[in-house]
Structure 1
């Protein structure tokens, strides 16, 4: 049982590598930050010199946080290159199952205004042909910025690789978080501001942006459960429950006994208004166990 994890220095990569090792897998960790660029793996030549893996977890991506998504378009080409090279390599060398991390950013932004509130559904709300049905007809798919387009295209590549005989599992994580996440991501940024008792307490946007927060323990256990099932349907990794940025900040501040003045920065990247997943298909494989309050408390500890 040998696995390759790309992006192994990132939040998901670190935790899935550790969990696979705990389950008895031999894990090759591949990350550009540790000096092993995934593209070097994918560009190797003949099959005789290539390791064959029972599982390839493709978590590598270039700067998938809000500030980079909105303000650093150069990552688009890098992420497309990573995904296309990975699928080409996996098909060409006859790798085992690929676990491809897509994203909730692949869903159409028009469905995430919060008016009305709706939980994003794998069956109804994302069509890889590029069109989604609505009550009065059809409208064109528009994922969330270049990062969303990368994942949309990645899912199309996954379909083509599957048609070529490669077993592929596609999961769509929503707002994953954890105690060791970087402060580039909103959960950790807000929790650390509470820990430092910052006053004023800064929140990007108006604070009403709602996200489906899912702890990294549930992301990892859930994605591996989906992969083990062998399903060929994409699966949301989500809780189905939405919490706003302001609510998250208030919970963290309450837990440390901090009562700051909140300052909202409308000129900062805020993302869509309402992004919550439908967990029905996910629950066929796994049900999350870590509540948001528990996850915040863990991070503060």
Structure 2
């Protein structure tokens, strides 16, 4: 296929680019790092691709979400122009990366873990998502409906905590890996460490996304294992794999996000089975 990939130099984009190349697709890569602004492309380009994958966004982990809400809101303009471009060019197939941050925060509180289903988001009557980033993703999903009504078939992955060895260390997983490699003791964890996340390796995130495209799955689809792992448990897994057992030290003054964020992966499992367990991903990142 002839594919446009925005954000091609980012974490998800890099891995998507490699996978698309390996399939033999003809990829046009767009990224600010290479001097190409996706916003300018969407405003002016008239090329009709077989598939467009929009992975360009302002990101930066929890500190960015909490500390730079207006910067994150810039994604709204980028996404809006993406959907206008899809309709203008008649591109028939598209991917818009949403996020688990779009889910209502009331479903992610302390107490019993509530797995999140795709239908928990009702775009006609949205509930409070996670910060400006979540609102931007909710708005993008709503705009996707208008582009779909014009004939574009759009897959909307909602990745949970994607991770990999080459992810920027402003995210928890690579930060934990770096601390373990340095044999940090005490081992620092933001918050009380009891909040949970659902981790999915970048290889599976990419594999599930392309499986959804190949099998013509449209609309939202959770990408995750459905496995709740606390940050304390993640620290124990990482340090055990690194060969030591430090004391855990918690920072109550640091950003921490919602308490539980775990998906129901049933829709994904209909088309794709993840291959890289969290333990395997840790070993890969540590070079073990």
Q: TM-score range by the shorter chain?
A: over 0.9
1:118-267 → structure 2 map (5 Å cutoff): 118-123=114-119, 125-131=120-126, 141-267=127-253
Q: 1:65, 1:169 → 2: CA distance?
A: 24
Contact 2:158 2:220 in 1 (8 A): yes
> Helix, strand or coil for the counterpart of 2:44?
coil
After superposition, the CA RMSD in angstroms is 1.1
Q: 2:149, 2:75 → 1: CA distance?
A: 22
> Helix, strand or coil for the counterpart of 2:18?
helix
Shift of 1:200: 2.1
> Helix, strand or coil for the counterpart of 1:191?
helix
Q: 1:92, 1:256 → 2: CA distance?
A: 52
Contact 1:174 1:277 in 2 (8 A): yes
Shift of 1:20: 0.5
Contact 2:60 2:170 in 1 (8 A): no
Q: 2:212, 2:276 → 1: CA distance?
A: 18
Contact 2:212 2:218 in 1 (8 A): no
Deviation by residue 1:235-256 (Cα, 9 ceiling, x = unmatched): 1001011111111111111111
Structure 1 unaligned spans of 5+: 132-140
TM-score (norm 2): 0.97
Tell me, yes or no, if structure 1 residue 73 matches structure 2 residue 69. Answer: yes
Shift of 1:165: 1.4
Tell me, yes or no, if structure 1 residue 275 matches structure 2 residue 270. Answer: no
Q: 2:18, 2:54 → 1: CA distance?
A: 15
Tell me, yes or no, if structure 1 residue 40 matches structure 2 residue 36. Answer: no
Shift of 1:63: 1.8
Residue 137 of structure 1 corresponds to which residue in structure 2?
A: none
Structure 2 unaligned spans of 5+: none
Q: 2:279, 2:75 → 1: CA distance?
A: 33
Q: 1:206, 1:192 → 2: CA distance?
A: 20
Shift of 1:289: 1.0
Tell me, yes or no, if structure 1 residue 57 matches structure 2 residue 53. Answer: yes
Aligned length in residues: 287
TM-score (norm 1): 0.93
Q: List structure 1 segments (4+ residues) > 3 angstroms apart after TM superposition.
A: none
Q: 1:55, 1:151 → 2: CA distance?
A: 20
Contact 1:64 1:147 in 2 (8 A): no
Q: 1:76, 1:181 → 2: CA distance?
A: 19
Shift of 1:64: 4.3
Contact 1:59 1:101 in 2 (8 A): yes
> Helix, strand or coil for the counterpart of 2:262?
strand
Contact 2:155 2:218 in 1 (8 A): yes
Shift of 1:95: 1.3
Q: 1:150, 1:243 → 2: CA distance?
A: 26
Tell me, yes or no, if structure 1 residue 290 matches structure 2 residue 276. Answer: yes
